[in-house]
Amino acid sequence: MRAPAFWWRRPGLASALLSPVGAVVGAIALARMGKAGGRVEAPVLCIGNPTVGGAGKTPTAIALLRRLTARGATPFALLRGHGGAAPMPLKVDSAIHGADAVGDEALLLARHAPTIVAGGARRVGAEMAVAVGASHIVMDDGFQNPSLHKDVSVLVVDGAVGAGNACVTPAGPLRAPLLPQLARADAVLVVGDGSAGEKVAAEAAQAGCTVLRGRLVPDPAAVAALRGVPLIAFAGIGRPEKFFATLEGEGLTLLARHAFADHHPFRPAEIARLVEAARAQGARLVTTQKDRIRLSAPAFAGPEFATVVDAIATLPVTLALDDPHGLDALVDLAETRFQARRF
C-alpha cells in the first residue's frame, strides 16, 4: 500500500475520522514497546524510524556496519526480511538467495556485512549471529519490536516530511505517538533538509536525544553515466518522490515517474510496459538499488528478460553525516551499556 497523501498534510477530515483507530494502534504499540527484550552476548544497535515506510534506515545501517568494520569489529546485520519466503531465521547467502527468499534489504546489507534474516524471531536471529562470530548486532528496523533488547536505538527521520501530520497509522504515518518513541530512543538522525524534519529534531533534543543530521549522496559515477540521457524513473520504496527528487536534484532529464508501493513485487507485465514506454520515447529506465534487486526474482529469470533487466540503470546512494564522529559516539555508548549489563 502506498502512503496516502493526507498523511503528509495538516490533520484534516480523513485523519480525524481515522484517529480513534490510530489511538488503539498507538496504545498497543506502546504497550509492546514497554516489554523487556531478550538479551544477547553482543552490543545491539537498532536503526529504526518513528513512521511507517522508508526514511533512510538501510543506508544508515550500512554506514554503521562499515564504521564498525573499520574499527576492527565483526558486525552482523539483523532484519525481519520483509517479502522473503524462505524459512527464517537464516544467514543470507547472496549466491543462492534472491529477493523472493530473503527480501531486497537483506541482499543490500549482505554486500557490507554478514546478514541474518529473522522473520518474527529477532532474538533467535541475534543469538544465531553471536554463535557464528558477531561482535555487534546492527538491526535494520525493529525499534517498536520488543523481542530483543537494544543497547542503543537511533530513529531515522526523512527531513522533507518529518512526522507528517503527527497522527498514528492509519490516521497518519506514525507507528506510535511520537514523544513516547523519542523517550525510548538515544538519537534521532534527520536525513535531508526540511522544516518538518527540523521540527522533529527540536522535539528530539527536548526529549534528551542526540540529534544527528545527514544526507543521501548519489554515486557520482552513476550520475555521470545518466547525465544527458532521457530517463523514465520507477520506484517501489517508502516515498518514491524522494528518489525522483534526487534524480532531478542532480540535473538529470526525467520524462516520466512511476511510483509503486513499498517493497512492490514487480510483475513481468509491469516491467514490459515500462520497457515499451522507454523504447517509444528513446529513454532509459532507472530505479533504486532495492527495486533493481527485486528484479532478480524467478519471474525475471527467463532469457526474454535477461537483457532487459541488465539495461535498467540504478542510482546508488550513501549516507553522509554532517558529524562523521556521530556513529562512533553511539558505538561507544552501546559497548559501555553492554559491558554494564554483563555484570
Provide the number of structural domains found in the chain. 2
Instruction: Kindly state whether residues 73 and 201 are assigned to the same domain.
Output: yes
Instruction: Kindly state whether residues 188 and 201 are assigned to the same domain.
Output: yes
Instruction: Kindly state whether residues 326 and 237 are assigned to the same domain.
Output: no
How many other CB atoms are found less than 10 A from the CB of residue 204? 25
Enclosing domain of residue 200:
15-216+320-342
Report pLDDT for 173.
96
> Annotated binding residue at 251?
no
Picking from 308, 18, 3, the residue whose alpha carbon sits closest to that of residue 170 is: 18
Q: What is the rounded (10 degree) CA torsion for 297, 57, 43, 113?
A: 40
Instruction: Kindly state whether residues 94 and 40 are assigned to the same domain.
Output: yes
Instruction: Kindly state whether residues 166 and 256 are assigned to the same domain.
Output: no
> Annotated binding residue at 53?
yes
Residue 56 falls within a domain, yes or no?
yes
Instruction: Kindly state whether residues 80 and 163 are assigned to the same domain.
Output: yes
Instruction: Kindly state whether residues 38 and 65 are assigned to the same domain.
Output: yes
Cell of 252: 538529470
β-strand partners of 256: 232
> Annotated binding residue at 51?
yes
CATH number reported for the structural domain that contains residue 302 in this entry = 3.40.50
Instruction: Kindly state whether residues 194 and 325 are assigned to the same domain.
Output: yes
Cell of 54: 522508508
Report pLDDT for 273.
92
Query: What is the C-alpha separation between 118 and 129, in angstroms, rounded?
Result: 10
Residue 53 falls within a domain, yes or no?
yes
> Annotated binding residue at 52?
yes
Instruction: Kindly state whether residues 334 and 201 are assigned to the same domain.
Output: yes
Phi then psi for residue 101, to 5 deg, are -90, -40
Report pLDDT for 1.
64
> Annotated binding residue at 58?
yes
Instruction: Kindly state whether residues 23 and 165 are assigned to the same domain.
Output: yes
Q: Is the dihedral angle over the CA atoms 135, 37, 126, 182 positive or is it negative?
A: negative
Flag residues of the chain having pLDDT under 50: none
> Annotated binding residue at 172?
no
CB 237, CB 292: distance < 8 Å:
no
CB 44, CB 151: distance < 8 Å:
yes
β-strand partners of 86: none
Report pLDDT for 214.
96
> Annotated binding residue at 228?
no
Instruction: Kindly state whether residues 278 and 234 are assigned to the same domain.
Output: yes
Phi then psi for residue 266, to 5 deg, are -60, 140
> Annotated binding residue at 314?
no
Contacts of 24 (CB under 8 A, 6+ apart): none
Q: What is the pLDDT of residues 168-178, one digit of tens each?
A: 999 999 999 99
Instruction: Kindly state whether residues 68 and 154 are assigned to the same domain.
Output: yes
Query: What is the C-alpha separation between 111 and 236, in angstroms, rounded?
Result: 21
